[in-house]
Structure 1
Amino acid sequence: MVTSSILVLFILGLTAAGILAAASKVLHVEEDPRIAAVEGCFPGANCGGCGYPGCSAAAGAIVKGDAAPEICVAGGPEIAENIAAIMGVEASFKEPKIASNICTGGSRANLLFDYEGVEDCRAEALLYGGEKTCGLGCIGMGSCVKVCGFDAIRLNDDGVPVVDMNACRSCGKCADVCPTGAIRISGMTMDLLHLNKIDDCLAPCMQKCPAQIDVRTYINQMKRGDLRGALLTMKERNPLPLAVGRLCPAPCETICRRNIADDGVAIHTLHRFVADWEMNSGSRIKLDCNPATGHKVAIIGAGPAGLSCAYFLRRIGHEPVIFEKRDEIGGMMKGIIPEYRLPSKVVNWEIQSILDLGVEVRTGVEFGRDITIKSLEDEGYEAVFIATGAWKVPALGVENDNAENVIDAVTFLEQIGRDITDLKGKKLVVVGETNTAMDVVRSAARLGCDVTSLIGCIQRKMSANKDEVKRASELGAELKFMASPTRILVEDGKVSGIEFCEVEYDDPKKATGIPKPVEGTEQVVNADFIVVATDRLIDTAPFMDEEGKPLFAMNKKTGGVNADDISLQTSVPNVFVGGEAYTGRNIIIQAVADGRRAARGIHHYVTEGAVPEAKNPQLRVIPESILKNMEVTYTIPRIKVPEITVEERRSTFKEEVTGSIIYEAARKEGSRCLRCGLTCYDAEAGAEYAQDSDVQKFSELKG
């Protein structure tokens, strides 16, 4: 029985072997030898980051034509070139990407409970939603560390993942297992063009900054002595840190959480310190740029918005060309904003950093006269960015407003210090409540004249920076608030004075409504010159066709070109707009921000044919991030920035009013930063200075 069973099994096995042998001859397919050759080029990580189950599958996909030679995430350009040689093709540029952690909170977020279970981030997130009050921060169980096949991630003492940029191969496994999105994979293009999202770990200062600068990170880097890293962090969002560090009114400081405890961090001062460090060193930090993509973009206007857009486009590989009407580039930064606020040498240094990236500029070219959208398209430009600014100052709209010696503020500032060098014994009246008006007041006072400023609102309603108003007053100018011109007095065709009246709000206590004239309050001020600085408007003439119809949809509120709020794409798909040509009169950091947002839109348009809708953009301050109460251990006095004396200001037109600070002072101010996350903060900030005589414990101060 046993023998017969064995015999049957033997016969069945022999038959099956014969059938398989025959089938193998019939069905046999020769493996393409290139598969083995391609697989031999791979580092053998089998990480799956390419999307295929292992290196063998990836090699097969390349040979079949379903994948490109540069598909391997664990390998670099050399491996891609070797594979391309085997396949007889050219290897394309592949932008390097690495993992990064957006959470710096560690144990600083309040604990909801003590988790005792499986040491796994995803399990904790699924079961409990995480152990901390912050729903987007790092859970800290180290799941990302466990799945990394390249030993590129470790947990620091705070339980926060730290990525080794040199070891990371961007396989994406860490991001896949992270349940909160604290770990993300990104590259230079993504980093430069990223728009803040409501699910990012955003400190209030980062939310308020129009350019979305990572304030928390660059201050930390500066404090550790990594000034190069701090500058690179700033330049991910702002290519004009020197100018912004001098001109920005710092809206970020108004929302700094430190204000709840004592005084907000001097973010603006630290921004300038880092930027000045590079310029004062005499050498420029090298900025990486992707290889040229062949996509040409025309930029109309070489002011902050145009320069910003060109900077970001060039860094991600596109080929921007700036067309500028004036002979100089820099917009109002060059020749309009006074030297004592923004020296020419500073502007020149900043601009050269952008030109050195390979940005081409053509001056003396006027949009609407020398070039048009059609002519640019015919030259091969795939997209156009309009950043012509707001240079027109409207007339006062009162009797004799066109008399001789009635000058608009932009013309006055362009001429002062060059054509206008002495105003001693003259009387000058400035009309307006803008920063431009205060520039005129301060500049005229420096040249020795008697200056009166008519301001049609109360001081806190002025659009001018409060520091600029203070400095104008310090120079001896008479600031008349709640005063509005009614007519200009003329003798022999020239200005002799100005009549004005008092104005009043509908609700004087709340200062609401439009101020209205108060009858019987007319007064006269003698004047040799009247400078109009009420506003700056956009010249829309170049945006009209031969029949006087607009080339694009216009915005009645701003007077500029209308566009999508996020992409800045106009009603003409290949035309984008930014800066004051879009917003109307605005601050420099907004122009810089517009340039980057437009670069993002243009990038998607020229590479994909359309601009994707931004997902979960952070458009306003996130309510949960605004804390009512907080406790800090140490209080450190806010830094005092040196300034030249009022007498010195009267005797110089070029020396900056605000001086520089030294590193140790910057480091101490940086220690006041609470390293805020969305809801967490470092209550022990400044502990390293606890023994200093000017540092106190906050609890003792409250008591």
Structure 2
Amino acid sequence: MNMENLVFSTWGNWKDSPGPAQTDDLPAQFGQERFLRAFMGWDGMFVRDASVNIVDMTREYAAQAANQSCGHCSPCRECTYRIKEILERICEGQGAEGDLDMLEYMARYVMDSSYCDIGLTSPRPILDAIEHGRADFLRAIQEKKPIPRGNYVAKVTAPCTNACPSHLDIPGYVEKIHLGRWDEALEIIRRDCCLPGTIGRVCVRPCEFNCRRGLMDEPIAIKALKRFAADQELTRGVEPCFLTTETKEDKVAIIGAGPAGLACAYHLGLRGYKTTIFEALPEPGGMAKTGIPDYRLPPDLLNYEVSLVEKVGAEIRYGVNVGKDITLEDLTKDGYKAIFVGVGAPEASAMRCEGEDAGYERFMTGIDFLREIAFGRRPIEGKKIAVIGGGNVAMDCVRSALRIGFDDVNLIYRRTEAEMPADPVEIEEAKEEGIKFNFLVQPIKILAENGKVSGLECLKMELGEPDESGRRRPIPIEGSNFVIECDAMVPAIGQVVVVDRVLPEGTEITRWKTLVVDEITFQSSQPNVFGGGDCITGPATLIGALAAGKNAARFIARYLETGECKPEDADWMEKAISDLGVYDKEETMPFAGQTRRPRQAALDPSVRIKNFEEVESGFSQADAFKEASRCLRCYRIGLAAV
């Protein structure tokens, strides 16, 4: 059978309209060797294989819906259970006349009376199946024969969960916060994230950009709620308890105590594996420590969360430069059965500006500038500083420069504010603190007197057509040269990966010197070597690194236990759901009132620029309760026949 064509589909706006033109956006593969024969979910259903028994598949889908019904809306709880029972009877050969009418009535009743998306969306594919497969249902009722069970894979997700690289159960922990069960909320978070307090402060929050509440008024403050749950543990002095399995014999080496390495160690520890983390720096955290200033991420909090990673079985050895002091081959000889490489992107990209290699005093890259501050040292002297860049590192540099005594701080960016990749919140707070923003400006030459930085010659720019990043390309305006006076300069335009210094000869890397790994298993061309975080993606996000470490740990454990490293059905289901798309930014939402999310209290700009005290203080219990109550609980169920 040609699985590229549809037998029928109700997915989205399609109504029983098979044919190649309608299949482009619907996944056909389920892994490398199997096809996605049929799918039921929040937006309808589609069938590619006519041999799929729609009646049995509907039974399984109804069972999943009943299991996910929370009970807050009693019609949903009671009716989904009754729908499941009726479909089970039909599939056992005990159906009765009138069952289909009852199924349709209850499914519509659930949709009309429910608050959350389990009740609002799960009846849809059931109704579609009955409408398009009524003859199959009637035949099953009339023949009174048991129907063989099919092979299905189910997955529960949500738009926010799907957007999160670590796929946290966001509606789950938000609901627990609403119920005042903060410890349970934190327990849910820690299933997938070992640094909840950290990520609750510095995450770039892709989840919030996929929040359906934002189509009504404002997205749920997911990041702040995560922080609230983590802070409650510290505020109340609760001792966390981790359930780990029996200790395994095999040892795992982890290179780098940054977010990816810590996450890998944590999730391996929960599985009973002892890990040794080799870290070149004297303290843990990687870029979370050296690249995020204390006013955003208090070091005591980061150290506390790292101590919990150690509690589940990780040992951290500091001052060990892997590739120089010890090699991966040495670690293998020492009995480490698997190795995870999470070395990040620790070096700065070149600015390609005349004079940057001249060795001028008071010139320092952004990541070196922040690293020096993180370890309590003043990186460079001066009163007027120019920072070049438009990302979060540049924001951290300009705001830190104020706090170490610079009076005049200029940010120089070659595009406009609209194209800046930095977090809009960071941009706004930098403006509040008095940072001067210079947009559409391109540095071309570093000026110096007596070997010290004295200024920056620049060109004015204008925006042309979009480049490969999707942003409009800056074009120099001829003859627009001008000089920005400064006595210190910090380029913060990007970072580069140097993972090749760590790897054994023959390990496959890209031309950007990132480690080549399988996109699902994180296994490299060396079977016992895995990698994750910036060293495989290039400079990215902290939550992305945590997700990579978590997922790699799962496959490392599988490799140690079976000698193989293959994706499971759950991995392919995750991919299928992502390909389908869980969030529709064009969705028309019913009006539910304009309720704005609360704002976290923050230090006044005149106060905070004088020190590195944390700027935001987090939600109060009342604010957290109020904000959690805005969640629409947008769970969606997907079921694949494979």
Q: Please report the TM-score for the alignment, with normalisation by the length of structure 1.
A: 0.69
How far off its partner does 1:551 sit? 3.8
User: Is residue 442 of structure 2 the alignment partner of residue 476 of structure 1?
Assistant: no
Instruction: Report what 1:120 is aligned to.
Output: 86
Instruction: Report what 1:228 is aligned to.
Output: 183
Give the 5 Å matches for 1:610-629.
610-615=564-569, 616-619=572-575, 620=578, 622-623=580-581, 625-626=583-584, 628-629=587-588
1 CA distance for matches of 2:594 and 2:542?
A: 32
- Among residues 253, 263, 266, which one is paired with 1:298 in the alignment? 253
Query: Could you tell which deviates more after superposition, 256-265 or 113-122?
Result: 113-122
2 CA distance for matches of 1:125 and 1:593?
A: 40
Instruction: Report what 2:492 is aligned to.
Output: 533
Cα deviation per residue 1:494-534 (whole Å; 9 max; x = unaligned)?
A: 11111111223323899745323221121111111110100
Give the 5 Å matches for 1:482-493.
482-493=440-451
- Among residues 165, 168, 186, which one is paired with 1:210 in the alignment? 165
- Among residues 571, 594, 597, which one is paired with 1:638 in the alignment? 597
Aligned pair count reads: 523
Q: Please report the TM-score for the alignment, with normalisation by the length of structure 2.
A: 0.75
Residues 180 and 347 of structure 1, relative CA distance in 2, 3 Å threshold:
same
Residues 427 and 383 of structure 1, relative CA distance in 2, 3 Å threshold:
same
Residues 248 and 376 of structure 1, relative CA distance in 2, 3 Å threshold:
same
How far off its partner does 1:364 sit? 1.3
- Among residues 417, 420, 434, which one is paired with 2:378 in the alignment? 420
User: Is residue 421 of structure 2 the alignment partner of residue 463 of structure 1?
Assistant: yes
Q: Which amino acid aligns with 1:630?
A: M
Kept after mapping to 1: 8 A contact 2:521/2:551:
yes
1 CA distance for matches of 2:609 and 2:493?
A: 25
Larger RCO, structure (CA 8 Å, separation 6 or more): 2
Cα deviation per residue 1:268-305 (whole Å; 9 max; x = unaligned)?
A: 11010001111222232211111111121110000111
Residues 233 and 634 of structure 1, relative CA distance in 2, 3 Å threshold:
same
Structure number, greater radius of gyration: 1
2 CA distance for matches of 1:369 and 1:410?
A: 22
Kept after mapping to 2: 8 A contact 1:104/1:677:
no
1 CA distance for matches of 2:80 and 2:567?
A: 40
- Among residues 397, 402, 408, which one is paired with 1:445 in the alignment? 402
Kept after mapping to 2: 8 A contact 1:579/1:595:
yes
Kept after mapping to 1: 8 A contact 2:68/2:118:
no
Instruction: Report what 1:657 is aligned to.
Output: 615
Residues 480 and 177 of structure 1, relative CA distance in 2, 3 Å threshold:
farther
Residues 354 and 429 of structure 1, relative CA distance in 2, 3 Å threshold:
same
Cα deviation per residue 1:420-466 (whole Å; 9 max; x = unaligned)?
A: 1896x711000111211110100112224211111122223222111
How far off its partner does 1:571 sit? 1.1
2 CA distance for matches of 1:273 and 1:117?
A: 39
Q: Which amino acid aligns with 2:283?
A: E
- Among residues 351, 356, 366, which one is paired with 2:306 in the alignment? 351
Residues 644 and 108 of structure 1, relative CA distance in 2, 3 Å threshold:
farther
User: Is residue 594 of structure 2 the alignment partner of residue 594 of structure 1?
Assistant: no
Residues 115 and 253 of structure 1, relative CA distance in 2, 3 Å threshold:
closer
Give the 5 Å matches for 1:225-624.
225-402=180-357, 403-416=360-373, 418-420=376-378, 426-446=383-403, 447-507=405-465, 512-543=471-502, 551-556=506-511, 559-615=513-569, 616-619=572-575, 620=578, 622-623=580-581
1 CA distance for matches of 2:429 and 2:550?
A: 32
2 CA distance for matches of 1:468 and 1:460?
A: 14
Q: Which amino acid aligns with 2:425?
A: D
Could you say what secondary structure the match of 1:298 adopts? strand
1 CA distance for matches of 2:334 and 2:517?
A: 24
1 CA distance for matches of 2:380 and 2:567?
A: 55
How far off its partner does 1:250 sit? 0.8
Q: Which amino acid aligns with 1:122?
A: E
How far off its partner does 1:645 sit? 0.6
Q: Which amino acid aligns with 1:577?
A: G
- Among residues 666, 680, 687, which one is paired with 2:624 in the alignment? 666
Could you say what secondary structure the match of 2:540 adopts? coil
Could you say what secondary structure the match of 2:465 adopts? coil
Residues 388 and 114 of structure 1, relative CA distance in 2, 3 Å threshold:
closer
How far off its partner does 1:135 sit? 10
Residues 299 and 177 of structure 1, relative CA distance in 2, 3 Å threshold:
farther
Q: Which amino acid aligns with 2:328?
A: I
2 CA distance for matches of 1:422 and 1:542?
A: 29
How far off its partner does 1:110 sit? 10
Q: Which amino acid aligns with 2:630?
A: R
Kept after mapping to 1: 8 A contact 2:291/2:393:
no
How far off its partner does 1:114 sit? 11
Kept after mapping to 1: 8 A contact 2:196/2:230:
yes
- Structure 2, unaligned runs of 5 or more: 1-65, 93-98, 112-116, 125-146
Could you say what secondary structure the match of 2:635 adopts? coil
Residues 537 and 287 of structure 1, relative CA distance in 2, 3 Å threshold:
same
Could you say what secondary structure the match of 1:430 adopts? strand
Give the 5 Å matches for 1:63-142.
101-104=67-70, 119-123=85-89, 131=107
Residues 178 and 350 of structure 1, relative CA distance in 2, 3 Å threshold:
farther
Kept after mapping to 2: 8 A contact 1:103/1:677:
no
Kept after mapping to 2: 8 A contact 1:505/1:512:
no
Residues 178 and 499 of structure 1, relative CA distance in 2, 3 Å threshold:
farther
How far off its partner does 1:107 sit? 6.5
Query: Could you tell which deviates more after superposition, 118-127 or 199-208?
Result: 118-127
Residues 116 and 665 of structure 1, relative CA distance in 2, 3 Å threshold:
closer
Give the superposed CA RMSD.
Answer: 3.4
2 CA distance for matches of 1:360 and 1:114?
A: 48
How far off its partner does 1:255 sit? 1.1
2 CA distance for matches of 1:395 and 1:639?
A: 41
How far off its partner does 1:253 sit? 0.7
1 CA distance for matches of 2:546 and 2:492?
A: 23
Kept after mapping to 2: 8 A contact 1:624/1:679:
no
2 CA distance for matches of 1:273 and 1:114?
A: 34
Could you say what secondary structure the match of 2:601 adopts? coil
Kept after mapping to 1: 8 A contact 2:402/2:610:
no
Kept after mapping to 1: 8 A contact 2:394/2:492:
yes
Q: Which amino acid aligns with 1:390?
A: A
How far off its partner does 1:613 sit? 2.1
Kept after mapping to 1: 8 A contact 2:161/2:170:
yes
1 CA distance for matches of 2:334 and 2:459?
A: 56
Could you say what secondary structure the match of 2:464 adopts? coil
How far off its partner does 1:535 sit? 0.4
Residues 636 and 414 of structure 1, relative CA distance in 2, 3 Å threshold:
same
Instruction: Report what 1:76 is aligned to.
Output: none
How far off its partner does 1:124 sit? 6.0
Kept after mapping to 1: 8 A contact 2:369/2:379:
no
Residues 421 and 375 of structure 1, relative CA distance in 2, 3 Å threshold:
closer
